[in-house]
Structure 1
Amino acid sequence: MRLFVAVNPPAEAVDHLGAQVARLRVAAAAAGARVRLADPADLHLTLAFLGDVEAARLVDVETALGLAADSFHDGLDAPPRLRLSGGGVFGDGPRTVLWVDAQGDVEALHGLARLVRDRLRLAGVAYDEKPFRPHLTVARPGDRMDPAAVEADRAALDEYAGPEWPTTELLLMRSRPGSGRPRYERLAAWPL
């Protein structure tokens, strides 16, 4: 099973961002240039990417995440509040990704990511150890758009500020490769 750990923005934040994305060049290009826009139903902030995990290890993963959520929840007076705001670009050429930033109680989100990764490590569950950079992928224009247009969209996202929302649950997600784009399945959730 291909797994990742995430927090999801609520529907109001997703809808607000969707209205902004609809005004970007990348949205217009998506119809004819094979630019991939992120499906609003799949928008998430990845805390840890586990990759392929044997089904027999699922209990270990769930136990680790439950302990991380409990530890995180016990140290808080209230769930961290975030907002989608600002933007950026990862990669270049065919691997160009346009993203929106997470702002607000980002230090708390970093703390949650550390707890998740620490608990996974203690359980002997491997994960991608790239540094945590909270972001939400908006589109994958690759090299199918003029770089100047992608830069203009990034600049437009720099001006974007979505509504604030509480981070209320930790999610274990399964990614199922499909034709064109993966499908995501929610396997488990823990309150924060």
Structure 2
Amino acid sequence: MSEQKRLFFAITLPEESRQSIIQWRADTFPAEAGRPVAAANLHLTLAFLGDIGEEKTQALMQQAGRIRQQAFSLTLDDAGHWPRSGVVWLGPKQSPRGLLQLAELLRSQAARSGCSQSPLPYHPHVTLLRNATHPVSLPPRNFSWSLRVERFALFQSVFAQGRTRYQQLADWALTQERV
């Protein structure tokens, strides 16, 4: 039996955006609002795979490598709080079609490979704070980060020494639009 790894497909944020978001979060939310997600861990999940073995991982990586989809632009200009899961998030008011298509493709491939997928509709977001179980006052909607999404990646969630780190295992380029 091969060792199981906790995996997910995601979009990484450019370093510049991550630093800017971290600063904005510090200026916007009080320390007691929740536990801040480390800058290096900021990402936008496309499909959560759960704990899977090497064989299934290889199959999903092969399928991901066959995806032919155009790069797209994404604007993070909305925020919210899910009190039940204790998450404060940042996301797009309007999800670009490319993002929804990519997530749907990865989620359906994962489901066909036996990775259970949430029955809830896909809600693209970047988790800013965890353990935010008390009401959090959300900022006025006067913030926005725009990024060009040209790649997506497979990550492993590694829990060690009381911390969760996300380790990138592989990544794939999206196709560039023809001019």
TM-score range normalised by the length of the shorter chain: 0.7 to 0.9
**Residue 136 of structure 2 corresponds to residue 133 of structure 1:** no
Q: What aligned pairs does 1:17-166 form with structure 2 within 5 A after superposition?
A: 17-26=21-30, 28-29=31-32, 35-68=34-67, 70=68, 72=69, 76=70, 79-92=71-84, 95-103=85-93, 106-122=96-112, 124-129=113-118, 130-143=120-133, 146-147=134-135, 150-151=136-137, 154-156=138-140, 158-162=141-145, 164-166=146-148
Share of identical aligned residues, percent? Answer: 29
Q: Distance in 1 between matches of 2:28 and 2:132?
A: 15
**Structure 1 residue 179 displacement after superposition:** 4.0
**Residue 172 of structure 2 corresponds to residue 190 of structure 1:** yes
SS for the counterpart of 1:57 is helix
SS for the counterpart of 1:49 is strand
SS for the counterpart of 2:163 is coil
Q: Distance in 2 between matches of 1:183 and 1:15?
A: 17
- Specify the code of the residue in structure 2 equivalent to 1:60: A
**Structure 1 residue 85 displacement after superposition:** 1.4
- Contact 2:49–2:110 (CA under 8 A) maintained in structure 1: no
Question: What is the Cα-based RMSD across aligned positions, in Å?
Answer: 2.0
1:168-191 deviations in whole A, cap 9, x for unaligned? 111000001234431111000000
SS for the counterpart of 1:182 is strand
TM-score by length of 2: 0.84
Q: Distance in 2 between matches of 1:127 and 1:191?
A: 25
**Structure 1 residue 103 displacement after superposition:** 4.9
Structure 2, unaligned stretches of length 5 or more?
175-179
**As a proportion of its length, which structure holds more strand?**
2
56-65 vs 2-11, which deviates more? 56-65
1:76-113 deviations in whole A, cap 9, x for unaligned? 3xx20112212001134xx3211111256622100111
- Contact 1:81–1:105 (CA under 8 A) maintained in structure 2: no
Q: 1:177 to 1:12 in 2, by over 3 A?
A: same
Q: Distance in 1 between matches of 2:122 and 2:162?
A: 26
Out of 139, 155, 158, the residue aligned to residue 173 of structure 1 is: 155
Q: Distance in 2 between matches of 1:167 and 1:2?
A: 24
Out of 14, 22, 40, the residue aligned to residue 10 of structure 1 is: 14
**As a proportion of its length, which structure holds more helix?**
1
Q: Distance in 1 between matches of 2:102 and 2:162?
A: 32
SS for the counterpart of 1:4 is strand
User: Aligned residue pairs: how many?
Assistant: 169
Q: Distance in 2 between matches of 1:168 and 1:127?
A: 27
